[in-house]
């Protein structure tokens, strides 16, 4: 099988990112969701409304980032 160089299109030429390059963003988004969920549970146990609000925001931010990525 003969592969001609002019028939090859690279990801740089198409502007696509490799799935492996997107892993870090997905991992960070998932970690935010997990951290937010954990903080929310702690805040509920402590009955700390401010911490609970921050936790929900963190969790929602992680969910938005995960959907983008």
The sign one gets for the Cα dihedral 32, 64, 66, 16 is: negative
Residue 1 has pLDDT above 60, yes or no: no
List pLDDT tens digits, range 14-31.
Answer: 888 777 878 888 899 999
CA dist., res. 12 & res. 2, Å (int): 23
List pLDDT tens digits, range 31-58.
Answer: 999 999 999 989 889 898 999 889 889 9
Share of the chain above pLDDT 70, in %: 96
Structure tokens at 8: 């090859």
Q: What is the 3-state secondary structure (H, E, C) of 3-37?
A: CCHHHCCCHHHHCCCCHHHHHHHHHHHHHHHHHHH
């Amino acid at each position: 099988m003969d592969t001609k160089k002019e028939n090859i299109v690279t990801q740089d030429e198409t502007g696509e990112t490799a799935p492996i390059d997107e892993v870090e963003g997905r991992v960070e988004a998932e970690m935010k969701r997990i951290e937010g969920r954990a903080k929310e549970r702690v805040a509920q146990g402590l009955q700390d409304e401010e911490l609970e609000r921050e936790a929900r925001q963190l969790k929602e931010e992680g969910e938005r980032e995960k959907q983008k990525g």
